[in-house]
Structure 1
Amino acid sequence: MKRLRIHYCLAALTVFLTALSQNAYADTVTAIIDNVSAPQVSMNLRNWCPLNIPPAYAPPSGILTMGTRATQFRVQRTGGTFQGELLGNVPGRFAAFCLEPLQPAAVGTNKTYTLQSLSMGSTDIGGMGAQRAGMIRELFGRFYPDFSKSITQEQSAALQIATWEILRENIDPNTCTVMPLSYSDLDVTDTSSDIFFSYATDGSIALAQSYLDALNGSGPTAFGLAALTLPEVQGQPSQDLLVQFVPEPSTWILMGVGIVGLFWHRNRTKARLAA
């Protein structure tokens, strides 16, 4: 009986995820990223593809160091085909994090993004893939599962730093694509790694490391995480965004129909066994 219940739960989950992929992904979201004021952190990369830096201008140390703002963005939605809700903690705005540390965000500009599965995000490296998407879902599942809740600037910076660490560690320098990643690779201060952070005005770097140290593949995962992607256009802001969404009404209807069908099938099976 217990095994049968597990079977039905898994089947219901499959129906739900299928409905999500068919009804939400590939929809569009037109939005404007608000200007943000946040402390800078020093980010260092040994592999800075897809930036095309001429050899004469490449850092002699082989490490590209840049100041960047690690924070949670507030984004105003202005249109698009997606009918669901994007979660945020400020009225009239949804919350987002960056998925591409080397791409500028289109701050103050109306852009049309494509809503895609999280694994497709970070298009500058060909998509992060299922493994890294799973790590990010666990990261947010443990420490920020609901984007409608408020968090401190230090917490949002730590989540952003941890996300960048997951995305840019172990990137093939020749093809600019992801390679297998283990939890032991996730060290935001290891100066021998592909990406590390050397300065912040608060405790966000240490907090990010504590978040990463907690990941083991068995923690809770955040629901509804997805990527808003922009085409990679040379010289134009093309930052992909990490967002959290609530499915549109048609998705809930499909899920409801699927669950009703499962219960009908279960009752029919019980009746047949009792006959």
Structure 2
Amino acid sequence: MTSATRRPETPASTVPTRLIATDLDGTLLHDDKTVSARTIAALAAAEQAGIEVFFVTGRPARWMDVVSDHVHGHGLAICGNGAAVVDLHGGPGAHRFVKVRELAPDIALDVIQLLRATAPGTVCAVERTFGLHLEPGYPLMHMEPPEIVSPAEKLLAKDALDADQPVLKVLAFHPEMDPDDFLTVARTAIGTRANVTRSSPSALLEISGPGVSKASTLELCCAERGIAPEEVAAFGDMPNDVEMLTWAGRSYAMGNAHPAAVAAASGRTAPNNEDGVAIVIERILAERL
């Protein structure tokens, strides 16, 4: 389910929240990438009250150390915009992939070639389960050095190094285009071949397999637990959160959110630097008293 049409919201008083789904960057985390003491306490209180908490992020699993200490219960996170479900128990370096929804290498290459033709100057990176591989000219904007630097044709070849690792997503960067314009152009060019979104302030797109999004993977995880959309409260701030904010029965765009996230959400909370997620969790817990 990836529709951007909001369902009518069920009154919160009639359907208790059973699961909280929250984005990280620009949402749960402060701009300095820390989790505040208030937010840590709110997450722990939610779990203690029997409400599951899912971190739902565009980050890869290896960038989840910032919240690994704050998982409780199941300890699962949805990473790569829905491309993977990861068990964060065990701490750094011990993350276990529970579910992978990969982007087929031939489709990934097809998408990259379409973007090159439609938006000349586009350079790409390939995100596999355990590493990031870049094309020459792709900016070093991420948290780690690349493992391989080579044209996409080689990065995605059948005999490429790490070819045994699934492709989670393609990152596409344009040095000059407006970020929202780049997203529109890419979605038009790619169509249903893959899911295209963005979460960065720069013209950086995130491309996953067809139908793969935060919302569709969250929906799978909730179905496994017998949790309905009306029992989910979701938080986000960027276009890659739109489907999730639309799907959840209660959803909140941050005070710092992109207009697309604001339009998709059923509510609004304070900015990330003012603990907007914690404020709503505290209110949800108060409703249960």
Task: Please say whether Structure 1 and Structure 2 have the same fold, judged by a TM-score greater than 0.5.
Answer: no
Which of the pair has the greater relative contact order for Cα pairs under 8 Å at 6+ separation?
1
- When normalised by structure 2's length, the TM-score is 0.23
- When normalised by structure 1's length, the TM-score is 0.24
Larger Rg over CA atoms? 1
